[in-house]
Chains A and B, each alone.
Chain A
Amino acid sequence: MKQAPAARTKPKVSMASKASISRRRIESLKDFSFAAPALLILGVFIYYPLLFSLYISFTNWNMTRPMKKFIGFENYDRLVSDPLFYKVLRITFTYTALDVFLTLAIGLGLALLFNVSKRFYNFMRTGIFMPYYISMVIASMVFLWIFNNQYGLLNKFIGVFGMDPVNWLQNPNTAIWTLLAVSIWKGVGFTMLIFLSGLRSIPLEYFEASSLDGANKFWQFLHITFPLLSPTTLFLLITNFISSMQVFQSIDIMTNGGPLDSTKAIVYWIYEMAFVNFRTGRASALVIIFFLIIIVLTAVQMILTKKKVHYEG
């Protein structure tokens, strides 16, 4: 993120006449008109639904009922006094932390491993990127099949080493790892490519200079590569954080939030509350809480890392 250009260079005006003020107004209106269509769409399809949810969160509305009663903060009260609320938050954060950390760590490892300009490596990179463009629905089904405790390949595989089959999807301790497996499998290819583009933008002189000083590869990585990758890392951190917090599709297909709520992440809970238990009002309150949590945490990440991010040039 480079320094923002100090606003657009304005046309040279010798003196501030009325004509130039109105001309500037027209100019700024023209500028705005370029952003308007996008803003309109976001307003209608993101912000209006959010405002609507805010309104609904103060009612006892059930989507399928005509009655709608204003009940103040009761939905919020009930949520924060429900132990499940804290469990769901814990699961969401655990999932997000593991998912982001593992995807980034593995992605960076892959980028270092595959940072070779050879045709065969390029070919292999294509293979590693492949899961990224396979639909989450299909990826979840394939993993569901691999993790199946009766016929799944994974249990057959560990059976070769004499281990007992594990009920991956039916055990509260392992179910979350099945979700992580899909997500990481799908995500590392993209992360690798982005890290690669970061790696390649590091000027070679840095390495040459330190090589002359006799630094080894590990020292170089720790003191040159990693710091200089920090803008890329921040970008990946935030985008991965946001998408992990929203985990839904894999849960819907692989675990349905179970067993014993062990994979009930927040978006899935919202969805279940609205469509299985028909509590639209309470689900809306959860939407608002979710929105606030994620916006605060994203801001915190940006502020905390801002000081530490290194920019070249």
Chain B
Amino acid sequence: MMFKKKWLGTALAAVLAFGTVTGCGGGDEAAEMPQGDPNDTTPVTIQYWHSHAETQMGGLNYMIDEFKKAYPHITVEPVFQGGYPDLQKKLSAAVAANDVPAVTNVEVSVVANFADGGLFQDLTPYIKRDKVDMEDFSKGMLQAYAYNDKQYGFPLIVSTSVMVYNKTLLDKLGVQPPQTWDEIEDYNSKVTEKEGGKTTRYAFSVPGWDTWYYDPWISNGGGTVLTDDDTVGFDQPESLRWAENFKKWIDDGSLMMGFGKGASDTMRQMFLDEKIGMVEHSSAIIKMYVENAKFDVGVSFLPGDKERKSHIGGAGIVMMSGAKEEQKEAAWKFIQFMTSAEHNIKWADETGYLPTHKSVIDSEEGKQYFEKWPQYKAVFDNFDNVGPRPQHPAYPEMSSVYKDIVGEMILNGKDPVPMLKENTQKMNDVLSDY
């Protein structure tokens, strides 16, 4: 029994120790100037935790080799930590244990939460010291990795949602993909095909399984997901226009929306089988559509109304504030290298994600890239219209409320408008409870 008491004591001591250990992590001790010496060449090894899929590994290995040539004293150990959810899991465990990698990927929707918690190093002092040309980046992409006016990271694998359409079909029907909401009804009436009241070909499809796809529809209709005083905007009539329209288009059989696991497979296959004329999907998988379709694939930017925006997706690259001091300088150099204009096109081409620098688009390399991938042109014509997602630490949790309302509309045919109004308070509670 004595033994047992002792053990309890140890457990309690561990609890207390744990409290103090985590107590000293993070914080905003960011001084005006970074502490490290930029010219120090003491050998240092840093870990880079990432979620780069198989198809991106060639690109990553190339970049790491090039980096090693430029900075022989820095060794980068890339560690694949699975998809974004797994990476997030491991990062939070690592933070709780106060043993973090120096550099990591971070999925764009959790930037606010992690930055708010002081997990990321504020890169502003480094940017100032090394006079990084911030103007060259797409503004919206940079904003997505900033929080409370501090730059925590840089866009690395960037995607945005676009409309992928069956060019062969639309040409045959003599219609253009809609550029504004006003054109949608006309487009729908021309593309939708019905047999005995049942749709056999949908005009278009918007994914219902991730709010990322319809958040821009909310703002394009003149509404807001998150207002400036951190409440949801669903009590404003403009913030409900998207839902009214979606409901109307679903009911008249021209819009197909999928929800739940595997819904993405369904949408893709229906598009490839020419049962949908146009689908909203991530720019990162345009390549997949081009390779698998038996028809010509075109890409158009999201249709706009009051404004015309699309949101940034994918992941960025950040430095962990809990990294050891001697690693921070190396970590910064690596981040800078990975996101520099110099390798931007090569990186984009290898990974299927978007270039992030304006200057590279007009370069010789850039021109070749667009010749190879003309589908990306639609995105770059709207380069400055790719904006950040709604930023709030509780956004991921809050957004699941209106995602489920969309699910109720898709699966159970319910009217989303009254449900959105009724649940405004619930969503505000989630936001304020942080």
Bound-state CA distance A272–B262 (Å) is 20
User: Could you give, for residues 83-99 of chain B, a 1 whenever the CB lies within 8 Å of some chain A CB and a 0 otherwise?
Assistant: 00100110111011000
Q: Is the CB of A62 within 8 A of B261?
A: no
Closest 6 CB pairs of A and B: A170-B260, A259-B260, A277-B397, A169-B261, A64-B117, A48-B11
Asked whether A150 and B411 contact (CB < 8 A) given A170-B262, A261-B404, the answer is: no
Asked if A202 is at the interface (CB within 8 A of a chain B CB), the reply is no
Interface members, chain A 151-167 (any B CB < 8 Å): 151, 167
- Complex CA–CA separation, A62 to B89 (angstroms): 13
B118 touches A66 (CB 8 A): yes
CB distance from B382 to the nearest CB of A (A): 31
Contacts of A175 in B (CB 8 A): 260
A62: nearest chain-B partner, CB-CB: B117
Q: Are A150 and B11 in contact (CB under 8 A)?
A: no
Task: Identify B22's interface contact among A39, A66, A275, CB under 8 A.
Answer: A66
A269-286 near B? 1/0 per residue, CB < 8 Å: 000000111110000000
Q: For the complex, give the distance between the alpha carbons of A167 and B257 in Å.
A: 13
Tell me whether A254 and B19 are in contact (CB under 8 A): no
Cross-chain contact B260 with A43 (CB below 8 angstroms): no
Contacting chain A: which of B24-32, B121-129, B132-140, B244-252? Answer: B24-32
Contact of B96 among A55, A64, A171, A276 (CB under 8 A): A64
Cβ of B176 under 8 Å from chain A: no
Looking at the assembled complex, report how far the CB atom of B24 sits from the nearest CB atom of chain A, in whole angstroms.
7
Contact yes or no, A66 B25, CB < 8 A: yes
Determine whether the beta carbon of A149 is less than 8 Å from that of B266: yes
The A-contacting residues of B in range 403-423, CB under 8 angstroms, are: 404, 407-408, 411
Q: A275-B92, A279-B397 known; 5 other A-B pairs, CB under 8 Å? A: A43-B4, A64-B113, A171-B260, A175-B260, A259-B407
Q: Are B260 and A64 in contact (CB under 8 A)?
A: no
Contact of B396 among A39, A52, A150, A276 (CB under 8 A): A276
Q: Pick the contact of B259 from A40, A55, A148, A259 — CB < 8 Å? A: A259
- Mark interface residues in B375-409 (1 if CB within 8 Å of A CB, else 0): 00000000000000000011011000000100110
Q: CB-CB contacts of B232-243 with A at 8 A, as 1s and 0s?
A: 000000000000
Q: Are A48 and B14 in contact (CB under 8 A)?
A: yes
Q: B119 and A64: CB pair below 8 A?
A: yes
A255-B88 contact in complex given A62-B117, A66-B23, A66-B27, C-beta closer than 8 Å = no
Taking CB as reference atom, which chain B residue is nearest A255? B261
Tell whether, in the assembled complex, residue B261 and residue A170 are in contact, meaning their CB atoms are under 8 Å apart.
yes
Q: Is the CB of B261 within 8 A of A64?
A: no
- The contact string, 1 if C-beta is below 8 Å from chain B, for chain A 21-42, is 0000000000000001001100
Q: Which of B24, B89, B265 contacts A66 (CB 8 A)?
A: B24
B373, CB-defined interface residue at 8 Å: no
Chain B residues, CB < 8 A from A254: 261
Contacts of B260 in A (CB 8 A): 167, 169-171, 175, 255, 258-259
With an 8 Å Cβ cutoff, the count of chain B residues facing the other chain is: 44
Q: How far is the CA of A46 from the CA of B263 in the complex (A)?
A: 39
Tell me the chain B residues, 22-62 only, with Cβ under 8 Å from chain A: 22-27
Flag if B15 contacts A55 (CB, 8 Å).
Answer: yes
Which residue of A39, A44, A170 has the most chain B CB atoms within 10 A of its CB atom? A170
Question: Is B261's CB under 8 angstroms from A259's CB?
Answer: yes
CB neighbours (8 Å) of B15 from chain A are 51-52, 55
Return the contact of A171 from the options B18, B25, B92, B411 (Cβ within 8 A).
Answer: B411
Interface membership of B370, Cβ < 8 A: no
Contact call A170/B263, Cβ cutoff below 8 A: yes
Q: Are A51 and B11 in contact (CB under 8 A)?
A: yes
Q: Is A225 an interface residue (CB 8 A)?
A: no
User: Bound state CA distance, A40 and B6, in angstroms?
Assistant: 11
B151 vs chain A, min Cβ distance (A) = 20
> A147 — nearest CB in chain B belongs to which residue?
B262
Q: List 26 A-B contacts (CB under 8 A).
A: A43-B4, A43-B11, A48-B11, A55-B15, A64-B91, A64-B92, A64-B95, A64-B113, A66-B22, A66-B24, A144-B261, A149-B266, A150-B262, A167-B260, A167-B266, A169-B262, A170-B260, A170-B263, A170-B266, A171-B260, A171-B411, A260-B411, A261-B404, A275-B88, A276-B397, A278-B113
Give the chain B neighbours of A256 by CB distance below 8 A.
261
Is there contact, CB below 8 Å, between A148 and B262?
A: yes
- Which A residues are CB-close (under 8 A) to B407? 258-260
Residues of B close to A260: CB separation below 8 A? 404, 407-408, 411
